[in-house]
Structures are given as C-alpha cells and as structure tokens.
Structure 1
Amino acid sequence: MARTIGAKLEALAAAAPSRRALICDDETVSRAALAARIGGLAAWLTERSAPGEGIALAMGNAPALVEAFLACAVSGRQALVYDPAWPAPYRAAIDAALAPRVTLETAPEVPPAPFPAPPAPEAPFYVGFTSGSTGTPKGYRRSHRSWIDSFHVSALEFGLSERDVVMAPGGLAASLHLYGVVHALHIGATAVMMHQFHPRRALRLIARHGVTALYATPTQLQMLIDAAGGEAFPSLRMLMISGAKWRAETRAATEALFPKAGIAEFYGASETSFITIGHPDEKVPAGSVGRAAHGVSLRIHDAEGRDLPSGEAGAIWVGSSMLFDEYACGSAPETRREDGFLTIGDHGRLDEDGFLYLHGREKRMLVTSGLNVYPEEVEAVLGGLSGIEEAAVFGLPDALRGVELVAVLRGHVDEPALRAACRALLPAAKIPRRFLALDDWPRTSGGKADLRVLEAIAVERLKR
C-alpha cells in the first residue's frame, strides 16, 4: 500500500492510461495526462524550492489546482491551499505568516517528467485553512500519514474503491471536498468536481457520469433536493454527509432523490479527520452523530481533565493516527493535546452504547443570567421548527443578564408562534429574546453559514 499521497498515480496511469481520472464540468483528464502533469509540475517545483517548503496555491477550482496540489505532495513540498475569495487583508496576513517559497495563481506549462522519490510518510504535505466563519483563517498542517490513515478509514467505513465515481462538488479550499477528490484519485477511482457548485449542473454531472459516491454538506444536499424537482438519481450508492444534523423531512427527500444510496453521516474536523460515523445500516439515536470511527478513541473530560462517565457532558477528546501536526499560523486556545489525545473545544456526551451527542463549541459558549448556553443547542431547536430553514444564535451585551440571546433566522418567521414553540422545547433562559429574519444568508466558500458576517449583521440591526 502506498504510504504517501499520490505515490500510486504513476502505476495507475501505466495500468490504464486512458481511463478517466478527473472530471471537472465538461473537462475530462485521463490517468496518463494527470500523471504527466503532476510529474512535470513536481520537477518544476523541485527546481525552485527545497523539500518541505511551502507552495501557495492561490488558484480557482479547476484540474490545475488538483495537479499542483498533488505535485507538491509527491515532491515533498507543502501545498498551502488558499481560498480565492479571501479579502486582501486575509491573504496578506497568511502570506506574512507563512512566507511561501513559490506562489501559483495559474499553473505553468511544463513537459512531462517522472515522479521523484517519495517523501517520508511523516512529512507534512498540506496546510489548509479554517473556513473563516469566526475571523482570520488559521492554518492547520497535515502529514502524509494522517491522510493515508484517513483513506484507510474511508475504505472501511464507506466501502469506496477503484470502481467508484466519486463526486465532491464544492470548493477545494474546503478540506472536505479536497479530501474527496484526492482520495478518489489516490485509489484509482474517478473523481468529479466543479469549477463552482451549482445544484442543477451537479445533478446533470451525476446522471451523465454515473456518480456512485457523493460528499456533500447539508446545505448542498438541500439545494440538490430543491433543484431536482422530484427526479431521482439511482446511480448513487453512498452519500457521505458532513456537518450539522438535518431534518427528518430532508432525509425523506434525500431517500427519494437517491433511492439506492446508503446515507452515512460523519462528524469530524480539519484537525482530526473522522471522529464519529453514523452508518446507514445501524439505528443512530436521535440527536447523535454516531459512534467512533475505525481507529478512533473518545474521552469526555470535565474542566479539571477528569474522565466523565456515560451521560455527562464535557470536552470531547479524540485519539487517533489521523490528527493534524500543528497550526502553521494562527492559534486556537481551545485546541489542546494530552497523552496522545486532542480536543478542539467541542463539548458533548457519550451514551452507554458509545454514541456521541454534541452540545456545542467551547469558544461559542455564552453565559446569560449565570447559565451556560451553547448556541448550537438553540440553533438545532430553532432549525427544527416549521418554516425555519436555518438559524444562528449570538449573544449581545446586556446590562441585566450579561448577554442577551438573539437569533438570526432564514425562513418564514411568525414570532408569536416561534416563541410558543421555543417555550415547549427550551428553558426560559435559552430562548432568544429577539429574532431577526434574513433572506440573504451569507456563506463561506465551503457552503457553511458565515457566522462572523451574521453576527455583524445582528449587532448592527439589533443594537439598542
């Protein structure tokens, strides 16, 4: 088995040179063409940088970005995957912190070349960045071994193989979609990506190429459902959903859209890869994000670092071989290591059967009237109410309570009915005191709600 990212690509190309490797909208790249480009770019980088140096990839979603990323991997360089949508101050801060040896905004024309000798499995190969939901991105550094072990988990948990056509339709600056494309190529499957996610075009690609496995966020999935207009796509056999829990009616619509697909929900982070997985063949309790993925150990600790028993909530600590190395830039005080385990500040509890339930993020926790409130808990309740599509909860300064809870909502807002429903489901202190309806919902490039922008809107429009 290959021990570094991309190490199998030359052999795969030699075995079936004309086989489709990568599809991006109307463009198709064969295995032979992909390997030739990667080898040529690796040689080009070798002439201009030393092993281990950072190569900034400030490129849009296209095969050229994938080729440059894999050229960094096979040549022992670190691919710094920039988001083209960053504002100029973000880009300047990252450039100053990481000082990349080479920056690519377009890929150079290069002649084919053989792959160089592979780097060590422990060598870092990738620096990704947080989505920017809460401020300037942090850079997290990953080693070859951490992703190779993640690939092994994908094979075991999702059954992905060389026979699959795997679609990851989002921006590759988001680690979920980059991982999906690179893993597919690494194992010899066909990878399908898009220059920019568009639900109708994505459905056409699924039908045209017989996509069998799909990575998606709940937001992207809802957009696919809305765009399908009742049409079904039976080629899909595995749907892998990352992100927040979703509505029961969304699951029913998903099963109609992809009638032959198993649905696997997973919880993880850029720093950890997979943490838990809810399998299509097991009954996952309501509110749970599944059980520990293959090779993952979970602990729940209190504030003093003591293990908590089943049913009690505390910080989630993760042990596995898939953990990230370190932050290349920026910091996160809530991210800590101890005895081979890592916490990123998420809080939750385990039941007696090992199912994990998330309570929220340590850095988002609010204290109102002396009560700890996780916005995610309130958002989940609001998002489950009739007419509410999405919810984001924040705390605004309040002289009496310390923090006043406010909610920004997308959907039909009937405030009296909303308050009545909240009273039936939440303690009084956890019910937002004010609501703001918003039609234009800001998102990050990865498709998540842009909490930083939403909070700024709430502060501006709800200030007293």
Structure 2
Amino acid sequence: MARRIGDRLDTLAQEDPTRPALICGEEMVTRAAFSAHVARWRGRIASRVAPGEDVALGMGNSPDLVAAFFACATGGRAALVYDPSWPATYRASIDGALGSPLALAEGDAADAVPEPVAEVSPDQPFYVGFTSGSTGVPKGYRRSHRSWIDSFAVSEEVFGLSGGDVILAPGGLSASLHLYGVVHALHIGATAVMLRQFLPLRALELIARHEVTALYATPTQLQMLTKVAAAEGLTCPTVRRILISGAKWRPETRAAVAAVFPHAGIAEFYGASEMSFITLVRPGETPPPGSVGRAAPGVVIAIRDGAGRDLPAGETGAIWVASMMLFDAYACGGGAETRREGEFLTIGDHGRLDAAGYLTLAGRERRMLVTAGMNVYPEEVEAVLALAPGIEEAVVLGLPDPLRGVELVAVLRGPGATGEAVLRAHARRHLPAAKLPRRFLALEDWPRTSGGKVDLPALQRRVEALLAPASMLQRS
C-alpha cells in the first residue's frame, strides 16, 4: 500500500510505460515520460536545496508544474504552490513570512541528472497550499503525506475512483481542489486531464476526446460547463462521477446537469484546506434541505459553544473535527479562529447537527456580522437570496451604520437582481426582520480570485465606493 505521495510512479511506468499519465490541453505525457520528467526535476531541486526545505512553484498550469510538485514530494521537499496571478504585495508578504524559499518559475527547465526517490517519512510535510484569499491575504497551510494518503482512501471508497479512470480537474492547480484531483489521479495510476486555463468549451472537448469518466469542479465551473454544453448541443455520456464541493442546488440546475451528464452520479462534499473531507453527500442520497451531508469515513464532528462544551442536536455552535486528514500547521498567516484541542480542530466554521448526523452550516466566525445586537451569518442570508427567481449569485456584506452598528447589504448577480420588491418579499418569507438586508445592489461584474471564488475584500471595497453617501439610492 502506498504510504507517500508519488511512491508508485516508477512502478506504474514499468507496468504500462505508454499509457497516458497526464494530458494538459493538446499535450500528452506517458507514464514513462512523466516518471523520467519527475526524476530530472528531483535532480534539479536536489542540486539547489537541502532535504526538508521548501520549494516555491510559481508556474502556471503545465506538465512542468505537476512534475516539479511530484519531484518535491518524492525528493523529501515541500512544494509551495503559488498562484501566478497574485499581486506583488501578496507574493512579497508570503515570501517574507517563509524566508524567501527557492523559487521555480515559468520557463525553468528540468535539465539536471535524474535523482532517485528519497526515503521520506509519511508524516513529513510535502505540500504547502494557500487559501484563496477571499477574505484577505492567503494563509499557507502545511500538509503531510499521510493526511493526503488518508484523503485518497476516502476518495476511492466513497467516489469509487480507481486506476482505470480518466479524471478531469479543469481549474488552476493553485486551488487545492484541482491540485488534489490531478495528484490523486497520477498517484493511483489513473489518467489526469487538466487545462492551462479554464475554458468551458475546451474542457468539454477534452471530456469527449479522452472519454473522461470523473470530473472535479466548483459549482461555478459546473454551471458554466452545463450552460455551454446546452448551447452547443453537447452531452458527456462517459462521465460517471461528478465531484463537487458543497454546492447548493436549484432543481432546474440539477436537471440541466443531468441532461448534459446523463450517466453521472453527483457526489457533494464539504471540506476545508486544513481538514480535507468533513462531510459527504453520496450519489443518490437525499439530505435534509440545506445540509452538506454526514461525516466522511474516519471523521468525527462535534458542535461546541464558546466555552468548549458539546451542544445537543439542533443547536448552532463552532464545528470541531477530528480525523487523520487534518493539516499540520500554518506555514504563514493563520488566525485566532483556528484552534486545536486534543485530536479536534476548528477553523471557525459554525453549524449544527441534527439527530441523524446531518450537518447544516451557519457561516464562518470571521464573517459573522452584529447588527442591532443580533449575530447574523451572511451565508444564511445568501443561501436564501440565491433561491430567489433569477438570482445566480448572492453575497451579503456589512457597512457601518450609526443606528444598528452594521447595515446588511445584499449584492446580487443575475437577471432577477434588479427586482428589489420581489427580492424583499422573498427574503421576508424566509428570514426574521433583523436578518433582512437593508439595501439591494445589482452588480454583474464581480471581482474574483484566481480560483473563481468571489474576492470578498475587493467586492467590499467596490460596494463601499458605489454606495458612498452621494450615491445611496437604495436605502430602505
């Protein structure tokens, strides 16, 4: 049984050297070629940095990025997967916190003598990923070989993935979801498919050409794929499994996905970069409305109050998780919301468990707003607004208010975003008065992170500028 990331690459290459290991757009790399490429990258890295050190990978999506990542893992170094689109201030802050590690960039080549695989402890860190930065400068988190090997075991048990699959992860590998999909595929001997840049029609072409059987996607990417496929009259009958991170589905969205991917079972999961899988909704399972599923195999969930006491079913508190898939520590950044107590870890998410063990999220501790003395989780209000007619995306922000302390502002995207009266009536049917947004703002062009998530700080600044005193047109 594999104990370290990438420790079967050479064996897989010997078993079937000509089988495609990695496809990136028009490029195809066989198992034998990929194994040799990783060995040359190991040699390049070993000549420049000692075992146990960090290596910053500042490349865009490419076979070189993937090979250099595996070279770090199999050579006893930790790969820091940087996002090439970070602003200079982000990069400078992270480099400073990490002591300016060896950096490999676009155009660097694996031109060294091949280096053999190193003997590495399963508990040694092999990867430093970075949060998306949706609420600030990214935090770097360290993961051990063992934590991802245990995560792979969950993927294989619950999602039914194996070496016979062709697995597409269409997004940037600086996002852990897509990196995980590509690395897991190569680790188990499946064919990994990726793109240099996410383009829906290009992704659909690759699915058809290479008969992709499994797809990792964010909710936004899946919606874009479905919309383009429907417009082009395309279907993807080879896909048997879609793996999606905690999406909230409209009935019409599910129907559209089913039309494009007629044979695909959808597995939804809620997790975190620091924790891997927390809960799962298995294909065919129908959880209670709003739930993100039940604990993944090997995961124990506790809901606790501010004093650390376990709360009964139905009560909302901090989500604490114990499992073998937890991260080691932050390499840089971090905050008071992330805490450990014994085997349990919390990163500040709040939610509640029902009597059957289904978890419903309330929101993140650091996004919680206090308005008129009441704690409001923006995520709860966003989930309600997202179900209104014609709303494709909703974000709730807080602006300073002399009377309430914070005024709730809903930012909306979609054809229904300008229907303020309809939106207010919809919100009133589902929310108490204290949680109703005071203002509604239609905005189509949203700032986003490189992973496609909403850039919340940038959106906050844009909304503050739009709703400056001279333009406050939508106050209740």
TM-score w.r.t. the length of structure 2 is 0.96
Q: Contact conserved, 1:142 with 1:325, CA < 8 A, in 2?
A: yes
Alignment correspondent of 2:309: 306
Alignment correspondent of 1:420: 425
Percent identity between the two aligned chains:
66
Distance in 1 (CA, whole Å) between partners of 2:390 and 2:460 is 22
What is the Cα deviation at residue 114 of structure 1? Answer: 5.1
* Unaligned runs of at least 5 residues, structure 2: 470-476
What is the Cα deviation at residue 113 of structure 1? Answer: 2.3
Alignment correspondent of 1:215: 216
Q: Contact conserved, 2:215 with 2:243, CA < 8 A, in 1?
A: yes
Distance in 2 (CA, whole Å) between partners of 1:434 and 1:281 is 39
State the one-letter code of the partner of 2:55. I
Distance in 2 (CA, whole Å) between partners of 1:243 and 1:136 is 23
Distance in 2 (CA, whole Å) between partners of 1:405 and 1:11 is 57
**Paired residue secondary structure (1:48):** coil
Aligned: 1:329 with 2:326: no
Residues 18-67 of structure 1 show CA distances to partners (whole Å, capped at 9, x for unaligned) of: 00000011100000010001011112211211111110100011111000
State the one-letter code of the partner of 2:456. L
**Paired residue secondary structure (2:126):** strand
Q: Contact conserved, 1:6 with 1:70, CA < 8 A, in 2?
A: yes
Alignment correspondent of 1:358: 361
**Paired residue secondary structure (1:32):** helix
Alignment correspondent of 1:64: 64
**Range that drifts further, 97-106 or 76-85:** 97-106
What is the Cα deviation at residue 136 of structure 1? Answer: 0.9
**Paired residue secondary structure (1:363):** helix
What is the Cα deviation at residue 463 of structure 1? Answer: 2.6
Q: Contact conserved, 2:72 with 2:78, CA < 8 A, in 1?
A: yes
Q: Contact conserved, 2:14 with 2:32, CA < 8 A, in 1?
A: yes
Distance in 1 (CA, whole Å) between partners of 2:11 and 2:46 is 21
Alignment correspondent of 2:342: 339
Number of paired residues? 464
Alignment correspondent of 1:434: 439
TM-score w.r.t. the length of structure 1 is 0.98
State the one-letter code of the partner of 2:386. G
Alignment correspondent of 1:154: 155
**Paired residue secondary structure (1:126):** strand
Alignment correspondent of 1:90: 90
* Unaligned runs of at least 5 residues, structure 1: none
What is the Cα deviation at residue 117 of structure 1? Answer: 2.5
Residues 401-451 of structure 1 show CA distances to partners (whole Å, capped at 9, x for unaligned) of: 010000111113211111111111111111111111111122111111111
State the one-letter code of the partner of 1:192. V
**Paired residue secondary structure (1:137):** coil
Distance in 2 (CA, whole Å) between partners of 1:132 and 1:191 is 27
Distance in 2 (CA, whole Å) between partners of 1:437 and 1:66 is 40
Alignment correspondent of 1:444: 449
Distance in 1 (CA, whole Å) between partners of 2:243 and 2:101 is 36
Distance in 1 (CA, whole Å) between partners of 2:88 and 2:132 is 15
Distance in 1 (CA, whole Å) between partners of 2:100 and 2:24 is 27
Alignment correspondent of 2:474: none
**Paired residue secondary structure (2:392):** strand
Alignment correspondent of 2:382: 379
State the one-letter code of the partner of 2:236. F
Residues 187-222 of structure 1 show CA distances to partners (whole Å, capped at 9, x for unaligned) of: 000000000001011111101100000000100011
Q: Contact conserved, 2:44 with 2:112, CA < 8 A, in 1?
A: no
Distance in 2 (CA, whole Å) between partners of 1:356 and 1:90 is 34
Distance in 2 (CA, whole Å) between partners of 1:116 and 1:21 is 19
**Range that drifts further, 267-276 or 280-289:** 280-289
Aligned: 1:109 with 2:110: yes
State the one-letter code of the partner of 1:303. G
What is the Cα deviation at residue 118 of structure 1? Answer: 2.8
Q: Which runs of 4+ in 1 moved over 6 A?
A: none
Residues 264-323 of structure 1 show CA distances to partners (whole Å, capped at 9, x for unaligned) of: 000000000000000113221111101100110000001111001111111000100000
Q: Contact conserved, 2:246 with 2:292, CA < 8 A, in 1?
A: no
Distance in 2 (CA, whole Å) between partners of 1:45 and 1:198 is 32
1:343–1:337 CA distance, 2 compared to 1 (3 A): same
Q: Contact conserved, 1:37 with 1:112, CA < 8 A, in 2?
A: no
Distance in 1 (CA, whole Å) between partners of 2:109 and 2:427 is 57
What is the Cα deviation at residue 246 of structure 1? Answer: 2.5
**Paired residue secondary structure (1:33):** helix
**Paired residue secondary structure (2:285):** coil
Alignment correspondent of 2:175: 174
Distance in 2 (CA, whole Å) between partners of 1:308 and 1:134 is 28
Residues 102-149 of structure 1 show CA distances to partners (whole Å, capped at 9, x for unaligned) of: 210033232562532331100001111111111111100101110011
Residues 172-196 of structure 1 show CA distances to partners (whole Å, capped at 9, x for unaligned) of: 0000000000000000000000000
Q: Contact conserved, 1:36 with 1:112, CA < 8 A, in 2?
A: no
Q: Contact conserved, 1:5 with 1:74, CA < 8 A, in 2?
A: yes
